[in-house]
Structure 1
Amino acid sequence: MVYVLGVNLPDRNLVKFALTQFYGIGHVTAARICARFQMHRTCRVRDLTPLQVTALASFLSSPKDSLSPPRYPTATPDFVPSTKTHQELAMEFRADRLRRETENKQPEFILRRLRDKRIRPDLLKDLKIEAELKQEVRENIAHQKMIGSYVGRRHAMGLPVRGQNTQNNAKTARKLNRVERYA
């Protein structure tokens, strides 16, 4: 078993399913984390290298401080592959880079990426797990109770909040009516 941030990850599980052992990580987030660390979908916890386990633990401990994954430029729709040799392309690239450095401009693909609205911000930067997420949930419930909302009152009485059935609906309704009469 791999022990990461107080959570045991079973050796036989796939990494994307083992990550769901953390409070606050679901299947979609686990898949994003696996993609970020380039773990294929059939990778098991026992197959992780110590470097990958360390990188995963450091990311999960503070996602805001971690570096974003590198973004590689993609070809434009009008791209046509060149028939030049590798040496000719290398010479052309060096000359273009030298010209750009003298002009002190950014490459076209970076400017295109900045203009492109399809590039989304890193969704894993705002990831909250375990104690931090539980604290936020507690604060939200306390806020609901403090403002006296319907949901807050149901939390305070220990009743279902999202429309679930209780074991005795009549008793619950009487209890809630009593509270509303005095409120």
Structure 2
Amino acid sequence: MARIAGVNIPTSKRVVIALQYIHGIGPKNAGEICEKVGIPAERRVNELTDQEVLQIRETIDRDYLVEGDLRREVSMNIKRLMDLGCYRGLRHRRNLPVRGQRTHTNARTRKGKAKPIAGKKK
């Protein structure tokens, strides 16, 4: 089991797919990492040498913002918006959709379970 950026990545999968288990690395970044290190796309994680795993780890640490650091930066950005009191910050504070979606109907994921209103039915 290879451990990269504090995440145990699955051993039986291809390296490009396994790297995507790390928060902050998607298909594009995983491909770039494999290209930088010089690992072919069809190679599997259990076929990697210790040196290659070390190279992948160093590349990620040097060039990418992943896992805890990325989560911290995103939460700090949201906190900054909330402290400013801008519209987006207010939407985050009230736990409503931030990006202009309608809330008359839908938005149940953000708003929670619908609360019945007494005397509404006619």
Q: TM-score range by the shorter chain?
A: 0.7 to 0.9
Judging by fraction of residues, say which structure has more helix: 1
Segments of structure 2 that go 5 or more residues without pairing to the other structure are: 110-122
Local SS of the residue matching 1:57:
helix
Tell me if 1:135 matches 2:72.
yes
Please, what TM-score do these two structures have when normalized by structure 2?
0.78
Q: Partner letter of residue 82 of structure 2? A: K
Q: 1:149 aligns with which of 86, 106, 111?
A: 86
**Which structure 1 residue ranges, 4+ long, deviate > 6 Å from structure 2?**
none
CA distance in 2, matches of 1:142, 1:135: 10
The alignment of Structure 1 onto Structure 2 pairs a total of residues equal to 107
Is this contact kept in 1: 2:13–2:45, CA < 8 A?
yes
Deviations 1:22-49 (A, max 9, x none): 1111100100000001111101111111
Q: Partner letter of residue 70 of structure 2? A: L
CA distance in 2, matches of 1:52, 1:44: 12
Segments of structure 1 that go 5 or more residues without pairing to the other structure are: 64-124, 169-183
Which residue of structure 2 lines up, in the alignment, with residue 60 of structure 1? 60
Residues 90-109 of structure 1 correspond to what in structure 2 (within 5 A)?
none
Is this contact kept in 1: 2:14–2:44, CA < 8 A?
yes
Deviation of residue 160 (structure 1)? 2.1
RMSD over equivalenced CA pairs, Å: 2.1
CA distance in 1, matches of 2:7, 2:39: 19
**Percent same amino acid at aligned positions?**
33
Residues 1-183 of structure 1 correspond to what in structure 2 (within 5 A)?
1-61=1-61, 63=62, 125=63, 127-162=64-99, 163=101, 165-167=106-108
CA distance in 1, matches of 2:6, 2:73: 19
CA distance in 2, matches of 1:5, 1:142: 25
CA distance in 2, matches of 1:56, 1:50: 10
Is this contact kept in 1: 2:2–2:45, CA < 8 A?
yes
